[in-house]
């Protein structure tokens, strides 16, 4: 891929900031790359009591080599913004790589970019990929053709190293990994339902329950709009 590589990270209110700030930190060390964080109209974005400002206008970007869509609590609301979804589709159709972290894959699905494709997502919302014609995959990083998706939140670091290796080779990815001392050693094995204690899983699922119906309804509406 000729330099400079243009990478667009599309964000929206309610984005999970680690979904994009983690990958952004690594991509910012990538040689010969231009990393653009953009929102509709360049509007400030609120995310878990942080505000991201001085953003590019997503709608004014005509092309990128890599499109990255992070997830977050606001992702299903973002699906209802037809202009946002249209821009994601436009950029994705011409990008060399279409990527996401966490529930960002649901937004790729809403944009019609995942039909018949395997994709990762946060474990709690993975099955919501199905109405978009995508194939849910339990992998932490999943590749299907030019589509590269990461699982929930912290998978964004593994995802971005995989992406960097794809763009500029394993050596570059490993140099950046070393510079940023990415050497995870979690104190607990509670990162997935199949490794966490059942009591912990039960509490987390119960806490998520109030959001399930609304997300299902939002996805159903977005899938109907995509199909129509």
Question: Which residues are marked as active site?
Answer: 102
8 Å CB contact between 176 and 152:
no
Specify which residues 143 forms β-bridges with. 148
Task: Give exposure, 102-141, as e/b (b: 16+ Cβ within 10 Å).
Answer: bbbbbbbbbbbbbeebbbbbbbbbbebbebbebebbeebb
How far is residue 186 CA from its own chain's centroid? Answer: 22
CB neighbour class for 26 (10 Å; exposed up to 12, middle 13-18, buried from 19): buried
How far is residue 112 CA from its own chain's centroid? Answer: 15
**Nearest-CA neighbor of 103 among 146, 39, 153?**
153
Over the Cα atoms of the chain, what is R_g? 17
Q: How far apart are CA 150 and CA 17, in angstroms?
A: 15
DSSP state of 31: T
């Amino acid at each position: 891929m000729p330099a400079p590589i243009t990478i667009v990270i599309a964000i929206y209110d309610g984005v999970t900031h680690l979904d994009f700030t983690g990958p952004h930190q690594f991509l910012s060390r990538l040689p010969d790359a231009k990393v653009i964080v953009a929102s509709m109209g360049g509007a400030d974005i609120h995310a878990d009591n942080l505000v991201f400002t001085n953003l590019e206008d997503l709608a004014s970007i005509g092309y990128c080599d890599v499109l990255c869509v992070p997830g977050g609590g606001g992702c299903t609301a973002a699906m209802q913004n037809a202009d946002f979804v249209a821009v994601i589709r436009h950029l994705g159709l011409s990008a060399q790589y279409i990527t996401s972290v966490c529930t960002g894959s649901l937004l790729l699905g809403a944009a019609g970019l995942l039909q018949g494709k395997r994709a990762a997502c946060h474990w709690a919302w993975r099955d919501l990929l199905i109405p978009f014609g995508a194939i849910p995959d339990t992998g932490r990083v999943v590749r299907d053709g030019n589509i590269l998706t990461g699982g929930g939140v912290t998978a964004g670091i593994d995802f971005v190293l995989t992406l960097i290796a794809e763009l500029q080779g394993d050596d570059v990815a490993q140099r950046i990994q070393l510079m940023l001392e990415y050497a995870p050693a979690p104190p607990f094995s509670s990162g997935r339902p199949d490794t966490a204690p059942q009591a912990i899983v039960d509490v987390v699922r119960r806490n998520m329950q109030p959001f399930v119906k609304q997300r299902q309804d939002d996805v159903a509406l977005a899938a109907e709009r995509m199909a129509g």
